[in-house]
Structure 1
């Protein structure tokens, strides 16, 4: 089982025992590291002899030029074994339209998994339970879209209700411990529909609690998470061959 860690903050040293570094932002384009930090992360990985997965976010139209710059940076600096993770189909299209041979990974922002903690309180049949363990890429048509753009790896949240085995031909990366619950372009730390970096920087994370569920949510930037440290009993049987551990709440 490959072991990776995810961060958007450049570490001074890589954690021990990892086989891969995920570096970048998934959910907020304004929290994406700059080119200098990305290049230093690549250097860290080269020095440690491990590959890098460059993580790219959901983005606004106003951020597209930056997305295009990232595609060029990836084309010039990523090598065999490295990956580009897209959280926005627009990023995958930029890579495709440029005719670049980059290893693409589909991020969990696009997974379509059913993530809410109150699912545990529902009275479900076995068929309904199976439905709540699936996501977008379990459908034949949706899976064909990924195959068409050359994607064979998908990122998965560690659902409280469990995960269904992935369709044949896909490998999964399971994220721990922070499972995305919901994300929005309307960030609580600033005005909606913004088209420029945040000033001041992103506010501190905070906890959300409600009598409707015993599971607290954690708000970081524009995204809410729940914590689930419990590994599935048989991740390999689900098509999962990589564990991605978070150094902090993801961006």
Structure 2
């Protein structure tokens, strides 16, 4: 729900355009831009992503009513007040239409560092092609931070150890969260690749691959599983796969 105070051109936007910031400063131009825009992206990724189609619909309504040029300031319910409305409006338009960087987010958990070694090998391959890479360890990193970077990534790589023939539990937690966010509602299907170490029959990468399809990702056919600790030739395969994916993302 939006309310426009016409005399001053102030849009009271409720949740939209908000950030989870609680500072002594009130306005956007009073804090570093990188902190502000990072918080804005995190807020959108975690709360607004499922509503991306509605965001675009409301933008079109505002434009059709000739109200866009009348907005001089945006005051959301959370965070800083925007004195430069077009900065956040442009960001929301990019998010809602699935605009992404040449970027990949790697998310993994690991029990004995084998899946971690694979994650770093994939990262090196991607970096060799000039792709921006962000790596998250589910053991220590918050899922709200993870999805912030997934939002503007063209691809996401999921590292999954196998335990009792099933995916490690932390990755399951993330899958349920992603299922609710539905990044494909932005109109862009992100690529997904699965990999991991196993100590027995394996199969975790296939199970998570099926989950990712339900979450709206385009899952690559190739998944990479190794038995116990990856050998040098197996890490080289991960590196080369990351490199090929990097070429595809550009």
TM-score of the pair, normalised by structure 2: 0.32
Could you say which structure has the higher helix fraction? 2
TM-score of the pair, normalised by structure 1: 0.32
Could you say which structure has the higher strand fraction? 1
